[in-house]
Structure 1
Amino acid sequence: MSPRLVLLGPPASGKGTQGRRLAEELGLSYIGTGALLRSAVEEGTELGKQAEPILARGEYLPDSLMWPIMADWLEHQQGGWVLDGFPRSVAQADFLDAWLAARELRLDAAIALEVPPDELLIRVSNRLECPECRWSGRPEDLNGAGRCPDCGGVAVPRADDTPSNFRSRLAEYQENTLPVVLRYEQAGLLHRFDATPDPGVVAKRLLDLVKSLISHGQAA
């Protein structure tokens, strides 16, 4: 099983949590562009220096920065993968289509995680992230010592998780990424998915969905 999947959804819809779980369950590669960029900022890399002021405004990185990052990552993958945070725009979807077509590959499915805006805002105000391994979750998900359940690091609120940044990111999602959702829907690749329940419930249902797609030949 080596499907190539895209996870779409507004900020705090659970793309990072569910993308990592899904990739681990299916033995796929995973990239979360948001976590990758936050690591670059914290490490002070050249990419991080360029990304920091953009992320601080609650905006997405321009294509001129994202395309080289994704091209390099994709080139190093041997099997299937889960993309979280890419494509965020029609231009990025065009880039991904062209990259796949040049290698006689195809995208198997795009899954849109759907959560009401009020619930998203609650999640943002309650979200923690581990700077060591990029685990993301809620305070109640921490281990018995109050640390990251994956690596034991100290999970903290994300610096960009402010109400104003959330509203900015949500507006950008609605303007730039919803057209991508519609594009994949018109292509017959989209699967809308209710991501409102508890993360564990969502993870099981999402895994069942992808396994069903694989068994019916919609994802190979």
Structure 2
Amino acid sequence: MIATQSADRISVAIIDDHAIIHDGITGWVADATAPAIGVVGTYENIEQFDLGDSSADVIVLDLQFGTGAPQLASVADLCKRGLRVIVFSQHTASHIVMECLDLGAVTYLSKAEGRVHMLAAIQAAGTDQPYLSPTMAKAIAADDSTKRPDLSEREKEVLISWFQTESKELVGKRLFITEGTVKTHLGRIRTKYANVGRSAPTKAALVARAIQDGLITVDEL
């Protein structure tokens, strides 16, 4: 399971088969503050990561190792373990981006998106906040899903409040309902999306669905 980061530091593990990526991200995060970011492990593949310390708060994961196909199964496996995964890949096809979000990735960055986007994505992932990269925004705009669930006004209100706060507890305080009621609403929303064939297992996936369906804009996040 994911470690609980300290209030002033987020720990990161990098899984990528290029040393330049390890060095680059390590350099990018070195001067980060509020919170600080520290790289606690660099790995060339999933097998090395499994043999190492997997207690990092956030995992930065490449999709392709060597000349093989994108390893979407690795995204699914890490997310099922409860790890917060940022996919960092040269692949920018919209269907790949959306599939990674559906599998549980919290953010998808292309390798053309550098330091500023990586820092923002890591800090957002470390505090369970959504981060919409340009690659994600493009993929969401290109997605042609048309089936929309019938959400109640209260469900929409809970969903938007959750996007704009750091926890379900804060949503409850904002809307004057219990944290348990917030969880019930979010569970029902996920079920409704799953029932129309647009599963949204993570906050990032729900953000994508909400933007597609016109429930919230990027500026409102």
TM-score by length of 2: 0.34
